[in-house]
Amino acid sequence: MLPTATIKQRALELGFDLVGIAPPSAVKDLEFLPQWIKKGYGGEMRYLSNPQREDPRLVLPSIKSIICVGLIYNTSYPYSTEITEIARCEKDGPSGVKSEGDAPPRGWISRYAWGKDYHKVMRKKLEHLRTTLEQSSEGVETRVYVDTGPIMERAFARLSGIGWMGKNTCLINEQKGSWFFLGVILTNLELDWDVPAPDRCGSCTCCLEACPTGALREPYVMDASRCISYLNIELRSVIPAEFRTAIGRNVFGCDICQDVCPWNSRPLSLVSGPLPIDAFREDGFSAGSAARRAATASVPEFQPLEVEIKSGGLISESTDETKPAAQSLPPKSFSLFNPTLEDLASMAEEDFRRVFAHSPIKRTKYRGWLRNLCVAMGNSGDPQFVPWLESAAANSDPIVAEHATWALRQLLSGG
């Protein structure tokens, strides 16, 4: 049988940034799940009620250890909060500086979705690691999961020591920050378990204070039914009106609670304004920690995708009253990093399906994409979107039409 140290070294050789070994039991973490669901915090994510999530032995009866890995997806591009701060400074800046009114309204795509589908990237590496395990001796049993199976990856990753559960419910690593994907291998191999990392959130409440929708009910408790990432990705129906304004320009997902986390701090030269480190000084942090930088990815698949639009655009007055109409426009391209809403809205359904065929963004489906664009446009305050929204308000899909009508009211009433 391979020694635990050899397995860990192999994981790092395959490109994983973090690796730890967890026991197959996480009683405290797993007991929390049904209570959380009972409170309605899971929203419409009914798959979370799968009883296998409460005990990995229901997935692999012979389980003895869980190998947990992390893969950094962060890049050197600015955070969404930094972009917002830059826009504010431009608006309030001296004369001659470009004002916010001169800049086109932009949408935000969550950092994790800029590149290729992480499930496939992670799975490929994990399959190589699985092969190493199964070739080491006879009778080795394994199960591999990347955010798609009935396993609470974060609970076991916490026990494996690769990070602690932050108050924003993201796993945080002291050296690398929180921008990493998780994957696990369940196995019947008896490996040396690691110890959990200590909680280093201290008295900081930056994430709770920054969440626009109040999804962080209290430290370490996320009400997913209020989370922007749930509302514009997982929720298939109407976004509750009470949250639409707070969604702002987030078209797919939201990064705010990670953007503001001091453990994801940027070098001072990249940040407009002071870093929120004061709350940590009582826990032994020095002022020098303000220069900490969250780890960035070397994986090319996670760099922002350059989108090519071939079929024309959607921003036009429609002659077909059932849906936003495409018009003949020359091919265009744009990056998924901080794209303009006009560019995002230029994607016809065939573009959406082609461009995002291997992207996490496909999860929202085209109907959800249009719905989310309507909300972002309604929050933009820019009347240029009125023609597009009027077309969308006549869409045969009642969800798209309802959100477009709301957005029109926002724009025409001045918000």
Question: How long is the chain?
Answer: 415
Residues in Cβ contact with 57 at an 8 Å cutoff, skipping those fewer than 6 apart: 24, 63
> What are the CA-CA distances from residue 46 to residues 28, 230, 390 (Å)?
21, 13, 34
Cβ neighbours around 336 below 10 Å, total: 25
Whether 181 contacts 112, CB under 8 Å: yes
φ and ψ at 213, to 5 degrees? -105, 5
Q: In terms of DSSP bridges, do strands 108-109 and 250-252 run parallel, antiparallel, or are they unpaired? A: parallel
Going by the DSSP 8-state scheme, the letter that residue 192 receives in this structure is P
Question: Alpha-carbon distance 344 to 125, whole Å?
Answer: 32
Farthest CA pair distance, the chain? 73
Whether 167 contacts 276, CB under 8 Å: no
Strand runs labelled E in 153-249: 164-165, 171-172, 180-187, 216-218, 221-222
Query: What is the residue type of 400?
Result: V
255 tagged catalytic: no
Which among 147, 199, 382, 397 is annotated as catalytic? 147
Cβ neighbours around 206 below 10 Å, total: 21
Going by the DSSP 8-state scheme, the letter that residue 125 receives in this structure is H
Question: Alpha-carbon distance 272 to 270, whole Å?
Answer: 7
Q: Nearest CA to 23 among 199, 197, 194?
A: 194
- 252 sits in which H/E element: strand 250-252
Residues in Cβ contact with 207 at an 8 Å cutoff, skipping those fewer than 6 apart: 166, 167, 168, 216, 257, 258, 260, 261
Q: Nearest CA to 301 among 91, 123, 149, 80?
A: 123
Residues in Cβ contact with 141 at an 8 Å cutoff, skipping those fewer than 6 apart: 60, 62, 187, 188
SS3 state of residue 70: strand
Residues in Cβ contact with 35 at an 8 Å cutoff, skipping those fewer than 6 apart: none
- Residues marked active site are found at 147
